Amino acid sequence: MDALIDLLPELWTATYETLYIVALTLFFGGLGGLLVGLGLYLTRAGSILENKPLFFVLNLLVNFIRPIPFIIFLAAAQPLARAVTGSGIGNNAIIFTIALAASFAMARIVEQNLLTVTPGVIDAARSVGAGPIRIIFTVLLPEALGPLILGYTFIFVALVDMSAVAGYVGGGGLGNFALLYGYRQFNPIVTWAAVLLIIVLVQFVQFFGNYLARKALRR
Amino acid sequence: MAVVSLRNVGKVYPPQAKDGASVTAIADVSLDVEAGDIYGIIGYSGAGKSTLVRLVNALERSTSGEIWVNGQNIAALRERDLRQVRLGIGMIFQQFNLLGSRTVARNVAYPLEVAGHPKEQRAARVAELLDFVGLSDKAGSFPDQLSGGQKQRVGIARALATQPSILLADEATSALDPETTHEVLALLKRVNAEFGVTIIVITHEMDVIQTIATKVAVMDQGRVIERGPVFDVFSNPQAAASARFVSTVVKGIPSPDELAVLRERHAGRIVTLAFRDSAVDQKAVFGEFSSAGVAFEVVYGGINEIQGRPFGHLTLALTGLDPLIDQVLAHIRTLTTVTEVR
């Protein structure tokens, strides 16, 4: 317990780092997921921008990256992270890697949620002369907003998980804190303190996500 | 003048599987819809009627033929140019297809946003449209708070927002109960009468055709097999499929099954007489039987009215001496069509 009290400043720094990593990866990964998900949805057979070759490539890419266990993906994507961020380790590198992995996971969630929009409302929008861009922003995204919010909440939890794993390759945050000060120094209370903070964080975000989704769905 | 004119229109879907066959949804359809018509297109599921109506605003593209809408061959237009054309064509759907994320008022405003009308104009037009469909008090409601009939009225208001000259109704009443169906049909009649909007109605219910259409085309397997003024098709259907549709709302000549039931209950000869418009004088026909001393009983059929013109078939069981009956029927044949059913 004393050890934990001594480590409190490090714990707060680690919490802040986790929030920082998760916020940035949620932004970039979320945006990437939205784009790839929209791409999958729009180019599939019978959709408004049907494009068989593009769909095939996107679909293959998503299926290729998604099954790779994250800890292996971290190592495999390291050269790419180094090329993009200038370093293979540290927060910037792992933000890049997590955002990349999250994009492809999120892409499927976005695609699935967009598929719940009844094709009829898209027909209705087309019948009054709406073009593809307008349909995306005035029909697809608003109609799927409730499930999309839940999807992003789901991916948030996955991001917290991934950021903790990234502690292994020099990323900071609560995962790194738990490993460094708890696990390796045989101090389970320190480990559990980090775990508790992660649970509180996840609970809070899940409640908030549910609340927003309820508002979007009006129920 | 024809506002919608189809010339040898075809729609063939490419094969789904590599060695599968292509599917012909529409084959060589030519059709003229005049300004102010309420043109009914009827057919069983899979007859191609929904595909046909979706060709008129190019939600689906034809694979052959010409589709003239307000003097423009839209089959030759690119998707981008079609958007302007679609502003002149309203459409309502079986499942209403309202945007669940928008209020009633914002659903009705949607086509106006697409057309680029300024905000103040939109509000005034939306109020006008909601008043017309009788939903002014629902402006702030969301679609999932409305009944089916109310949803379709919002659909109609939305379809009329940009003052189109043509309204396409794709099975617009098929998801509604009979009473609501008649409310919605009455509203469509008003749209036609008050705004002069030409309406194309797709349905599988002959009742809908009978209630609002002025002309009808019967579709079967992607082809139009019969067409004409509703009265003509109802009172004297030529194709077998047309006769089946007519028989769903009007009893014609009894089918063999029905005849067997009639035979069990009625002795004597059974004949069906056609009554069409005022051309056949019922009093004269029945007077013939009475004066000849042939007893008759009406056992099947009925008299209907379309656009104020009566028509129908009555089936009679006749009892009396055979030569006498022959003599009377010979007389009546000069007045109307007589079918002796055995």
Same domain for B150 and B265, yes or no, is no
Same domain for B267 and B244, yes or no, is no
Give the confidence band of A172 by pLDDT, cuts at 50, 70, 90.
Answer: confident
**Mutation for A interface: B59, B87, B99, most A CBs within 10 A:** B99
Q: What is the mean pLDDT of residues B38-53?
A: 92
Decide if B87 and A128 are in contact by the 8 Å CB cutoff.
Answer: yes
In total, how many domains does chain B have? Answer: 2
Q: What is the CATH number of the domain that holds B280?
A: 3.30.70.260
Q: Does A69 touch chain B (CB under 8 A)?
A: no
DSSP letter string, B147-212: -HHHHHHHHHHHHHTT--SEEEEESTTTTS-HHHHHHHHHHHHHHHHHH--EEEEEES-HHHHHHH
Decide if A127 and B98 are in contact by the 8 Å CB cutoff.
Answer: no
Same domain for B239 and B281, yes or no, is no
Give the pLDDT score at A30.
95
Structure tokens at A151: 């999807």
Give the pLDDT score at A111.
96
Same domain for B157 and B9, yes or no, is yes
What are the residues whose beta carbons fall under 8 Å from the beta carbon of B81, sequence distance 6 or more? none
Question: Are residues B302 and B312 in contact, defined by beta-carbon separation less than 8 angstroms?
Answer: yes
What structural domains does chain A harbor?
Answer: 2-217 (1.10.3720.10)
Q: Does B256 touch chain A (CB under 8 A)?
A: no
Task: Give the separation between CA B121 and CA B116, rounded to whole angstroms.
Answer: 10
Environment class of B161 (CB within 10 Å of its CB; exposed 0-12, middle 13-18, buried 19+): buried
SS3 category, B26: strand
Question: Are residues B48 and B221 in contact, defined by beta-carbon separation less than 8 angstroms?
Answer: yes
Tell me the shortest Cα–Cα distance from B79 to chain A, in angstroms.
9
Burial code (b: 16+ CB inside 10 Å, e: under 16) for A3-22 equals: ebeebeeebeebbebbeebb
Which residue of chain B comes nearest to A118, CA vs CA?
Answer: B97
Same domain for B164 and B141, yes or no, is yes
ipTM of the complex: 0.85
Task: Give the separation between CA B109 and CA B107, rounded to whole angstroms.
Answer: 5
Structure tokens at A5: 């009290």
Tell me the shortest Cα–Cα distance from A34 to chain B, in angstroms.
19
Tell me the shortest Cα–Cα distance from A173 to chain B, in angstroms.
39
Burial code (b: 16+ CB inside 10 Å, e: under 16) for B277-315 equals: eeebeeeebbebbeebebebeebbbeebebeeeebbbbb
Give alpha helix (H) positions in A44-77: 52-65, 70-76
Q: Name the residue among B84, B101, B162 with its Cβ closest to that of A142.
A: B101
Give the confidence band of A205 by pLDDT, cuts at 50, 70, 90.
Answer: very high
Q: Does B145 touch chain A (CB under 8 A)?
A: no
Question: Are residues B172 and B92 in contact, defined by beta-carbon separation less than 8 angstroms?
Answer: yes
Same domain for B272 and B326, yes or no, is yes
Which residue of chain B comes nearest to A145, CA vs CA?
Answer: B101
Tell me the shortest Cα–Cα distance from B176 to chain A, in angstroms.
17
> Which residues in B lie closer than 8 A to residue A125 (C-beta atoms)?
99, 110, 114
Query: What does the pLDDT look like over A148-157, one tens digit per residue?
Result: 999 999 999 8
Same domain for B56 and B161, yes or no, is yes
Domain finish residue from B184, B217, B249: B249
Domain finish residue from B249, B282, B317: B249
Strands B309-319, B295-306: parallel, antiparallel or unpaired by DSSP?
antiparallel
Task: Give the separation between CA B288 and CA B280, rounded to whole angstroms.
Answer: 13
DSSP letter string, A116-134: TS-HHHHHHHHHTT--HHH
Give the pLDDT score at B84.
86
Tell me the shortest Cα–Cα distance from A114 to chain B, in angstroms.
14
Q: At what angle do helices A91-115 and A2-43 cross, to 10 degrees?
A: 50
Residues 9-48 of A with CB under 8 A from B: none
Same domain for B97 and B66, yes or no, is yes
Prediction pTM value: 0.87
Same domain for B151 and B62, yes or no, is yes
Give the confidence band of A219 by pLDDT, cuts at 50, 70, 90.
Answer: low
- For B93, the domain range is 2-249
Q: What is the mean pLDDT of residues B220-227?
A: 93
Sole residue written with tokens 């009827």: B42
Which residue of chain A comes nearest to B143, CA vs CA?
Answer: A218
Decide if A134 and B114 are in contact by the 8 Å CB cutoff.
Answer: yes
φ, ψ for residue A77, nearest 5 deg:
-90, 5
B255 vs A145, residue with greater confidence: A145
Same domain for B187 and B293, yes or no, is no
Domain finish residue from B204, B220, B249: B249
Same domain for B64 and B167, yes or no, is yes
Same domain for B305 and B164, yes or no, is no
Q: What is the CATH number of the domain that holds B208?
A: 3.40.50.300
> What percent of chain B lies above the pLDDT cut of 70?
99
